[in-house]
Structure 1
């Protein structure tokens, strides 16, 4: 009994340390990101645990395989130059401020619905920063729309972000039915972000006159906006593979296997080496998710008695889902929150899982720490000398998220049961 208590105490301590790191984004005194923190915690728990096989068995290999396939498909689009050219043309466009904010949000949201949003913001953020500053505009409001649309747009599909992939695989949700139910909310949420950005930044979109505009960091020529053209060969292949993937989602073939099949076809290339394509995969996100499965499972049994009265439920009411998503997503992040939530409530039905996917994704826009996509935008912008401050994000994120989640609540109440 004593050894059990010690083991439980160690598991809780490691869990608390890892999830505190998830919330803060770092451990004080060491240069580790969230993926590193999660890996250290998982390795420590595996070293001390007697049930290593049980912990390893909880890793959702199917979800990770699908995400890997999507990342390689996105790498094919990136190799064609699509992200670079799209972001560059958006940034250099001579149009009104509101139209440009809407354009950035529309492109980002659409791409994020089709591919993992983390990959989209990683590729596009530096180009937007460079192009907007070169045109005399402050990149910050456009980056706020970029991050907000990456989250909101990704809510439209089960492949738009890591947490939706996890939820879709856990509940074996139908891809097209989810799309029909979630798309209206995703579009409205994107509109809420555009509206709030414009209301708060109207009249402040432009930078002071030179020389301040030249204070950005030097950037390799291949990353300059508008530099180069879209390579039609790789782009055609990427589009064909995307259509094929969507078609496979309508077939009996498991989604994870469809994702791996597409990944294999991406790697069959005469222009890009396997090493180059694999190098564009965000291994940090895959590592983070795999490690979090282990960390979460290590403590899940300790709370079994606490959640036992609710664990067998197949429905949770909308208000509880929305509140839990908002709280969990903006303390430990929406991906860790979903991993933990699914481990506590394994019997949730398709309706509740659909709403969980939407609410947990929309909640990521509340604060800068709410989603990995937000953090990637902030870090990639910082590399270009653009500072995305916590308070600037919150000024847009808090009201736009509350508005979007409120509309989602009314929409789900009107189109189904409130549970």
Structure 2
């Protein structure tokens, strides 16, 4: 076996299981070790390793992380909490709001950060309303996954696809808007059916109607700059340039210490991406990858096979590594831009199947674990119908109404 294939296989295995036995190595550590070994054994030269790293994706992610950090620091999320508490009078009303807000915001910003922001907010709101938080927490992670499929900036795997395919922001959005909206509807219907008793139980008196601090000037600045960011994306300007320019504007401030912003940036995720880029660069030079590429031209001839292979891989190794593995193979299928959109749709929607399907799920479930437990099977009973209906509709739509 070629050394590059062994390094690739072990790295992806650790990505799938989270941590190997005995050793205390996390996913980020595994890909850093794997990338270093790829260079050490000569599977990829140092110069080619540098070239394999997609700095545009890293720059875009960093810029969006700075933007979301200011969303938190400004207290805009607290304003949203107060608004919801006044208007969502029933558990079902709160469910509708959660799905709509998580879906829309995840399309605009990275879905993982939206889950990070909304989990404590939801726990507080459901406690104040005296209702079961489980259906709303499931709605949060599933709507965040589904909504993020609508745009290139919705999640990390879409960023990779957007950069690799060259599809502009507007075209991506136009084609993915309806599948994402339909997925949000499927999410609402599934949760409404499985949790009909919890969602129809009368709420108790609000116990926490105040104490939602925010900074007015910072909120105004956030609204202005985030609007400018979206305008830049839709105008056709390079996404990474827009993201970094907006991040720079956010960092020009008299009120917020830079340390507070940097503490909210997920540098581990950025390092994970760097390692994955190098590992895939080394693996692509192997005979095994050539064989896999030839096999893909036979096995992945259509959108259906691509969708379900992508969905299966996304639940084995998570969606970002799955997309990195399938990215060079999509080019051989002859589907053009539609193939890239099908990969984005299926890998993202597949994240709803199990708790391990996406980082967003893990963020919500772990973040709420101190108050409520959501088991693997409880997530699966809702995630299975949501995933199957969403992917099936997405395949049908992109095959028949692709623009």
> What is the TM-score with the length of structure 2 in the denominator?
0.90
Alignment correspondent of 2:110: 116
Which of 311, 336, 340 in structure 2 is aligned with 1:349?
A: 336
TM-aligned CA deviation for residue 187 of structure 1 = 0.9
> Does the aligned pair in 1 maintain the 2:311–2:347 contact within 8 Å?
yes
- 1:323 paired with 2:317, answer no
Which of 337, 345, 358 in structure 2 is aligned with 1:371?
A: 358
Alignment correspondent of 1:29: 22
> Does the aligned pair in 1 maintain the 2:79–2:214 contact within 8 Å?
yes
> Does the aligned pair in 2 maintain the 1:125–1:381 contact within 8 Å?
yes
Q: How does 1:150-189 map to 2 (within 5 A)?
A: 150-189=144-183
TM-aligned CA deviation for residue 311 of structure 1 = 7.4
Gaps of 5+ in 2: none
Q: Distance in 1 between matches of 2:90 and 2:196?
A: 11
TM-aligned CA deviation for residue 249 of structure 1 = 2.4
- 1:274 paired with 2:258, answer yes
TM-aligned CA deviation for residue 266 of structure 1 = 0.8
Alpha-carbon distance change, 328 to 87 in structure 1, aligned in 2, over 3 angstroms: farther
Alpha-carbon distance change, 94 to 243 in structure 1, aligned in 2, over 3 angstroms: closer
Alignment correspondent of 2:396: 410
- 1:258 paired with 2:252, answer no
TM-aligned CA deviation for residue 109 of structure 1 = 0.9
> Does the aligned pair in 2 maintain the 1:84–1:124 contact within 8 Å?
no
Q: Distance in 1 between matches of 2:114 and 2:328?
A: 29
Q: Distance in 2 between matches of 1:45 and 1:225?
A: 56
- 1:386 paired with 2:372, answer yes
> What is the TM-score with the length of structure 1 in the denominator?
0.86
In the TM superposition, what whole-angstrom CA distance separates every residue of 1:127-158 from its partner, at most 9, and x where no partner exists? 21233234322222111100000001111111
TM-aligned CA deviation for residue 391 of structure 1 = 0.8
Which of 104, 115, 130 in structure 1 is aligned with 2:98?
A: 104
Q: Distance in 1 between matches of 2:74 and 2:181?
A: 27
TM-aligned CA deviation for residue 316 of structure 1 = 5.2
TM-aligned CA deviation for residue 225 of structure 1 = 8.5
> Does the aligned pair in 2 maintain the 1:297–1:343 contact within 8 Å?
no
Q: How does 1:8-407 map to 2 (within 5 A)?
A: 8=2, 10-49=3-42, 51-87=45-81, 90=84, 95-204=89-198, 227-251=211-235, 253-302=237-286, 303-309=288-294, 317-346=302-331, 349-382=336-369, 384-407=370-393
TM-aligned CA deviation for residue 30 of structure 1 = 4.4
- Secondary structure class of the residue paired with 2:368: helix
- RMSD of aligned Cα (Å): 2.8
Q: Distance in 2 between matches of 1:84 and 1:258?
A: 27
Q: Distance in 1 between matches of 2:185 and 2:200?
A: 22
Deviates more, 1:189-198 or 1:287-296: 287-296
Q: Distance in 2 between matches of 1:280 and 1:365?
A: 25
TM-aligned CA deviation for residue 21 of structure 1 = 2.1
Q: Distance in 1 between matches of 2:316 and 2:85?
A: 33
Q: Distance in 2 between matches of 1:53 and 1:298?
A: 12
TM-aligned CA deviation for residue 310 of structure 1 = 6.8
> Does the aligned pair in 2 maintain the 1:90–1:104 contact within 8 Å?
no
In the TM superposition, what whole-angstrom CA distance separates every residue of 1:273-300 from its partner, at most 9, and x where no partner exists? 2221122112222122121112222222
In the TM superposition, what whole-angstrom CA distance separates every residue of 1:101-120 from its partner, at most 9, and x where no partner exists? 11111111111111111111
Q: Distance in 1 between matches of 2:200 and 2:371?
A: 16
